Amino acid sequence: MIGRRWFVPWLWLAPALVLLGIFLVYPTVDTIRRSFQDEKSHGFVGLDNYRFIVDNPQPLVSDTHVALLNNLMWLTVFTAITVALGLIIAVLTARVRYEAVAKSAIFIPMAISFVAAAVIWKFMYEFNSDIGTVNAVVTSAGGDATRWLQDTGAPQTPITDAGPDTLPNPIQVNNFALVFVGVWMWTGFAVVVLSAGLKGISTEILEAARVDGANEWQIFWRIIIPNLSPTIVVVATTLVIQALKKFDLVWVMTAGRFETDVVATLFFKEFFLRGDFGVGAALAVVLLLWVVPVMVISIRRFQFQEETR
Amino acid sequence: MRLRHAPWVSLFLSVAAVLSLVIAACGDDDEEEGGETPTGGSPTTADLSGETVDALGIWGEEELADFNAMVQPWKDDTGAGVDFVGTRDVNAILTTRVGGGDPPDAALPASLGIFRDLATDGELTPLSECPGLEEKVRAEYSEAIVDLGTVGGELYGVFMKAGNKGTIWYNPTFFSENGYEPLTADSSFQDLLDLTEQIAADKEAGKHDVFPWSDAEEIGGGSGFPGSDWIQQIVLGEFGAEVYDQWVAHEIPYNDPQIKQAWEMFGQILLEPRYVLGGTERALATTFSEGSIPLFTEPPEAAMHYLGSFNAGFITDPELGFPAGLEPGTGFDFFPFPGGGVTGDANIMMLFNNDPATCSFAEWMAGAESQSIWVARGGFTSLNTEVDLAAYTTDLDRRVAEQLTDPETVFRIDADDAMPTGVGGDNGAVFTGVLSYLGGGDLDDILKGIDDAFPQ
């Protein structure tokens, strides 16, 4: 008889709702409130904090434009490279006998904590070639040591060798060095998920295509990619969210110096180090707004899949 | 029926418990102080057994052992305990704990900015609320140090463990072999430029293959601090204490012509590829603690390196890449930064209540007896005038301390520590400006940018 009353389902939901309220809803609402208040959250200042982010009046203290652009770079470059690499490796390893070994080797970085990986790479990138492995390789090959984590100049490739020393932010050597570490860590994840998806494509389709005379290239683009696209979207969504909340790698390796700040590191500096709750909270809200579309897309996708099941 | 009711009841209870936690947490939110009753009590002699002082600071590893040795006699005397948390993130943790209504009893950070912010916001307890403490501090510390701890006419802080930033390090063997004279307290910045030019000219003449300077700026969020130290030493030495004080208090704009000149003098040495080993490129990418290594390689690659007195700890640490067995005075040495002024950093002790245990702890920490313990263990330069110079273990340490406490010396706290958060300190505008200047940025833009960072 109890089971028929209207409030019973709510009662079962209550613990989850209360916890969600404490740890998710309350902090979110409070952050939004603070983002409209002054630096000690005493009085309302309207949109001043957001205007600070847009106008960037203090580039030496907190360069909000650089942080937003760097996040954009993480979002695009990191996601694109990781998905592409993951896809290539997944497809290629599926054809070799030592697949399990190859995939494990690529997956191992994922098992390292981000802070530990960042510390390792900080040493790898060290300018002093007695310490920095990367520069040791470069100098022993006859090149000049590069300041991987400090150089804000444009990357010089053989193609752009005669090109400009600097390009607009965030196209900087140190940003690429940081993104590379992210790629190194996350490729394994992309490989594992994508190759699981790959296994799900029925061999009958592939064989039918081969019988009809499709070459491997056509199979990849016309069969594998379309069939794999739901999995690719899942991987890409995860990576996009990773890119947006990127904090640990940047914080440990450069602390956001040399124009490598991302929104999350700048938020931490403003909120906890400088004690400016207003601008800090506004940055957190910007990050939240940036993640929302990604979340909506992935939830829609999930619902769609549930319906078509 | 019982079975059907049981989950019901426990569910309600757990919901109620969680809700009460929420309500309790909300209630705490707006409280400023811990609500301690102001009692006071006679320190040091009182029996405080069972009491614990919750202290927050920056010391870990070796320094933590030194700190523990320093408080041990007090613990034995009073029966009280010390719950010390040492973290490099002390500012973040202090901001969070104070904001959350749960401040520690005492904190010992190194940033003047956070001390001033907390004192201005009324979060700190004035030393006068501890019986006898203010009088003791006024009697045993120089007036300049007492003034630094005073905010709005009230004394809130004790400056205790100091670092001397007026030290230029060199290799005595290299200097004597080539006939270079270390500078003295009476030298001027021009003398330093002359010495630099002489070493560079000798190098170009093929007399040796040693650059005048090594520089190293990299240390995460603090990157750029050695350059900031250069500039503050130049301001204090060349333009005097009055300009320095106006500069730090922002009574003159940061892009004042004198300050600009100080930056340019800094640039005269650091931006000159003939003077600096590896140029600014190497300086910006090298960890600050490794800056002195080229002075002691065989043969040396650089002649001088400017860094605070704590550099002695690096030079004697072979794990950082220094040759083992370098002895202070003969293997390595320093001469004073020219201009006669000395800047330095200091740990500030501040209190959040006036419990008897807190007051007693503060009085012990501020006193000469406790500080002599750490002085004797090495690595501690005391600002307490009662600490005997004989307590320092090496001649070099003693000279560092002498330079600080000498009545002739003009001592000032690190400009970047004394400027507001956002301007000075880690990730602040000054450090970023130094990095930008060494990276080839436009000086006028940088100085304007730093000036804009001051609170309006």
Q: What is the 3-state secondary structure (H, E, C) of B53-110?
A: EEEEECCCHHHHHHHHHHHHHHHHHHCCEEEEEECCCHHHHHHHHHHCCCCCCEEECC
Q: Mark whether A78 and A207 lie in a shared domain.
A: yes
The Cα B171–Cα B326 span in angstroms is 10
pTM value > 0.90 = no
Q: Mark whether A41 and A91 lie in a shared domain.
A: no
- Backbone phi and psi for residue A112, each to the nearest 5 degrees, phi listed first: -90, 140
Q: Return the pLDDT at B22.
A: 43
Q: Return the pLDDT at B32.
A: 37
ipTM: 0.84
Chain center to CA of B373: 20
Q: Mark whether A30 and A47 lie in a shared domain.
A: yes
Q: Mark whether A118 and A141 lie in a shared domain.
A: yes
Q: Mark whether A94 and A235 lie in a shared domain.
A: yes
Residue A183 falls within a domain, yes or no?
Answer: yes
Beta strands B167-170 and B333-336 are antiparallel
A274 has a chain B CB within 8 A of its CB: yes
A2 has a chain B CB within 8 A of its CB: yes
Residues of B in Cβ contact (< 8 Å) with A275: 95, 114, 117, 421
Q: What CATH number is given to the structural domain containing A91?
A: 1.10.3720.10
Query: What is the pLDDT averaged over residues A100-121?
Result: 91
Q: Mark whether A163 and A234 lie in a shared domain.
A: yes
* C-alpha distances out from residue B226 to B162, B308, B355, Å: 17, 8, 40
- Backbone phi and psi for residue A97, each to the nearest 5 degrees, phi listed first: -75, -30
- Backbone phi and psi for residue B392, each to the nearest 5 degrees, phi listed first: -70, 140
Cβ–Cβ below 8 Å for B429 and A60: yes
Q: Mark whether A183 and A299 lie in a shared domain.
A: no
A31 has a chain B CB within 8 A of its CB: no
3-state helix, strand, coil in chain B (%, to 5): 50, 15, 35
Task: Tell me if the bond preceding A170 is cis, omega within 30° of 0.
Answer: yes
What is the four-CA torsion angle of A257, A263, A264, A268, rounded to 10 degrees?
A: 70
Residue A12 falls within a domain, yes or no?
Answer: no
Residue A101 falls within a domain, yes or no?
Answer: yes
Cβ–Cβ below 8 Å for B423 and A61: yes
Nearest-by-Cβ selection for A22 from B22, B427, B450? B22
The Cα B354–Cα B350 span in angstroms is 11
Q: Return the pLDDT at B112.
A: 82
Residues of A in Cβ contact (< 8 Å) with B121: 40
Within B275-418, strands assigned E span 302-306, 333-336, 341-351, 381-382, 410-413
Q: Mark whether A40 and A106 lie in a shared domain.
A: no
Cβ–Cβ below 8 Å for B92 and A273: yes
Residue B62, CA atoms < 13 Å, CB-side half-sphere: 6
Q: Return the pLDDT at B335.
A: 93
Query: Which pLDDT tens digit goes with each residue over A249-302?
Result: 999 999 998 999 999 999 999 988 888 899 999 999 999 999 999 888 888 887
Residue B417 in contact with residue B229, Cβ under 8 Å? no
List the beta bridge partners of residue B57.
B86, B108
Min Cα distance A168 → chain B (Å) is 15
Q: Return the pLDDT at B2.
A: 41
Q: Mark whether A140 and A124 lie in a shared domain.
A: yes
Count: domains in chain A: 2
Q: Mark whether A143 and A127 lie in a shared domain.
A: yes
B290 has a chain A CB within 8 A of its CB: yes
| Per-residue confidence in pLDDT tens, chain B, 456 aa | 344 444 444 444 444 444 444 444 443 433 333 333 333 334 445 688 889 999 999 888 888 999 999 999 999 999 999 999 988 788 888 988 998 899 999 999 887 878 988 999 899 999 999 999 999 999 998 887 888 889 999 999 998 888 889 999 999 999 999 999 999 888 999 999 999 999 999 999 999 999 999 999 998 888 999 999 999 999 999 999 999 999 998 999 999 999 999 999 999 999 999 999 999 999 999 999 999 999 999 899 999 999 998 898 889 888 888 999 898 889 999 999 998 889 988 889 999 999 999 999 999 999 999 999 998 888 788 888 888 888 888 888 888 888 887 777 788 888 888 888 889 888 899 999 999 999 999 999 999 999 999 987
Measured between CA atoms, the residue of chain A closest to residue B121 is A40
Q: Return the pLDDT at B116.
A: 87
B221 has a chain A CB within 8 A of its CB: yes
**Amino acid at residue number A96:** V
Domains with residue ranges and CATH for chain B: 52-163+345-410 (3.40.190.10), 167-344+415-453 (3.40.190.10)
- Backbone phi and psi for residue B171, each to the nearest 5 degrees, phi listed first: -100, 105
Q: Burial letters for A213-232: b for 16+ Cβ neighbours within 10 Å, e otherwise?
A: ebeeeebeeebbeebbeebb
Query: What is the pLDDT averaged over residues A54-70?
Result: 92
Cβ–Cβ below 8 Å for B18 and A59: no
Cβ–Cβ below 8 Å for B428 and A254: no
Residues of B in Cβ contact (< 8 Å) with A152: 439
Q: Which residue carries 């757990």 as its tokens? A: B14
Write out the residue range of the structural domain in which residue A182 sits: 63-273
For chain A, what is the mean pLDDT?
89
Nearest-by-Cβ selection for A257 from B117, B223, B453? B223
Residue B71 in contact with residue B366, Cβ under 8 Å? no
Confidence of residue A143 (pLDDT cuts 50, 70, 90): confident
